[in-house]
Structure 1
Amino acid sequence: MAWRPSASFHLWSLFEPAIGQESLHCDMKRGFSKARSQEPAIKALNETNTKQQQIGHLAQKGVYEFHQNNLILDRANSLQQVTEALSLNQEPEEVRQRIISVLKRYQEDPILLGKEIIRLSRGDEGIPKPILIEYSKYQFNLYAATDCIFREPDGTLHILDFKTGKSEFDLRQGYVYLLAASYLYPNQPAIASFYNLENGKRSAEIAATPIQLKAIQIEFSKIAQKHQKNLASYRKNPDLFDQIFPANPGSACRSCSFNSICNYSVIEVSI
């Protein structure tokens, strides 16, 4: 398979923060994650899930396990079965308790029950198959891993993304899913939405016109090209890393995966 530049919502979020999150954005994080990803210390950090990431993965897998058997939601011991399938006894106490809370909430309100599910991810399938996109003779691969796709009664495809924690929904991610759906399921109407498995919060349904999807495609083309230029500049001048990927030290450093190796990290120390 021929190599092509790639783009994803994750890369977009590393390039540009969500509205209202500008002060928390740090381009150096993209540098660590993408330009220096093969350095042993950084590779180890990239491959290690944070507590929040682990909670997200387990919550997603919990929903998947509930729907492995159409009757499992009706069984008195279904919660115990799913708990055992997730091996929660091997997780730290906080992770275990938060996932049990997620499972209980979902058991009480199984939002996918009775839906015509087209695809439901376990959350550990790895990198999805790339979608080839071409804009103005520039080709790149779009990666968009979806949590769940089901069909509404009127035939509309509904792309549902599961969330955990307190982070706000980023509408850009919904538009990325809709762009991917326009290639994977051409000529089929589609909408997207988010659902937080921990607090039960739902987003409004997101739809996109062909003009909006074209604008997202153009934005991705720009991001892919700029990112490749940054990578090429770094490979040519690795000593200019902090200029190509400038840091923005501040409160975001506390939750950054790379704070232990970043020379600009600002972490408050309690005495």
Structure 2
Amino acid sequence: MPKTWEFASYNLLSLFSPAVGLEHLHCDMKRGFTKAKKREPQVAELLQRDNTHQRIGILAQKGVYEFHQDSLSLCKQDAVKQIAEVLNLTQEIETVQTKVIQILDNYYSNPFLVGKKVIKLSRGDEGFPEPISIQQGNYAFNLYAAMDCVLQEEDGTLHIVDFKTGKSDFDRRQAYIYLLAASYIYPKQKAVASFYNLENCKQSDRITASPNILRSFQIELSSISQRHQKDLYRYRSHSHDFNRIFPPNPGISCRYCAFNSICKFAITKTAA
């Protein structure tokens, strides 16, 4: 299949289409800043910054990875302290330090991966994964699916685990993206997916998908990829139409948006 700039990923899907129940918080202008204006200096600078939640998630993933680089590390009494030093937690703000130490303590007490056959364990900072080339009808696109962890169960089933932090609900669509990716990477193996919250040590139910579900989801991703590319083309041709191509939805979500400092539609204060 020829190289293509067209792509799909969970990140694009979430920017394009909100999870069920979060429609009121969705703002398409965020997709515009993230994907269409990403090379503009002000936007590029903001994109390079991790917010507090993102920073906690990255460090938590690194912590799990580091725990399993030494098979004896989880047996050491000062394991959490050692991992914290590897992560350079003293360089982080207090909120991040406190939350990550709590997560490391939780994992030390409940090491989720111990006794499991780990096929792949990501550090969380490797960057973009190798794209999966997909042909859907006459349209070709690259699927990006960064898997935190892949386990192999006793019956040979692959179990894709996505680590979470915070209180956000699990988005089943993300699991379907992993399962679609697995159907291409591991075509001869059965696969399931689940989410594991590193803060409360709770795991979701296992999620499976029939070939028909995966086919439907692939069609949806193909459609989103095409629509996104059309929006990018429109913006490149008519940059003055940015607000129409990526319409804003100002509201409570503006307070947590990375672009509220440069967005003229942002509402950052509650009304008196």
**TM-based fold match above 0.5:** yes
* Structure 1 residue aligned with 2:41: 40
* Structure 1 residue aligned with 2:72: 71
Q: CA deviation at 1:270?
A: 9.6
Secondary structure of 1:145's match? coil
User: In 2, Cα distance between the equivalents of 1:3 and 1:134?
Assistant: 11
Given that residues 4 and 139 in structure 1 are in contact (C-alpha distance below 8 angstroms), is that contact kept between their aligned partners in structure 2? no
Give a deviation string over 1:189-212, Cα, whole Å, max 9, x none: 000000111122221110000000
* Structure 2 residue aligned with 1:57: 58
Q: CA deviation at 1:153?
A: 1.3
Q: CA deviation at 1:269?
A: 6.0
RMSD: 1.2
Matches within 5 A, 1:189-204: 189-204=190-205
Secondary structure of 1:96's match? helix
Q: CA deviation at 1:90?
A: 1.0
Given that residues 38 and 44 in structure 2 are in contact (C-alpha distance below 8 angstroms), is that contact kept between their aligned partners in structure 1? yes
Summarize the Cα distance change of 1:270–1:138 in structure 2 as closer, same or farther, 3 Å threshold.
Answer: closer
Secondary structure of 1:129's match? coil
Give a deviation string over 1:112-141, Cα, whole Å, max 9, x none: 001110000001101111000001021000
Given that residues 4 and 142 in structure 2 are in contact (C-alpha distance below 8 angstroms), is that contact kept between their aligned partners in structure 1? no
Aligned residues: 271
Runs of 4+ in 1 over 2 A off after TM superposition: 1-4
User: In 1, Cα distance between the equivalents of 2:43 and 2:193?
Assistant: 34
Q: CA deviation at 1:2?
A: 2.8
Q: Give the TM-score of the pair, scaled to structure 2.
A: 0.97
User: In 2, Cα distance between the equivalents of 1:223 and 1:259?
Assistant: 25
User: In 2, Cα distance between the equivalents of 1:23 and 1:201?
Assistant: 27
Secondary structure of 2:202's match? coil
User: In 2, Cα distance between the equivalents of 1:189 and 1:52?
Assistant: 33
Q: CA deviation at 1:4?
A: 2.8
User: In 2, Cα distance between the equivalents of 1:227 and 1:89?
Assistant: 41
Match of 1:128, as an amino acid? P
Q: CA deviation at 1:57?
A: 0.2
Given that residues 28 and 242 in structure 1 are in contact (C-alpha distance below 8 angstroms), is that contact kept between their aligned partners in structure 2? yes
* Structure 1 residue aligned with 2:122: 121
Gaps of 5+ in 1: none
Gaps of 5+ in 2: none
| Percent of residue pairs bearing the same amino acid type | 54
* Structure 2 residue aligned with 1:254: 255
Q: CA deviation at 1:91?
A: 1.0
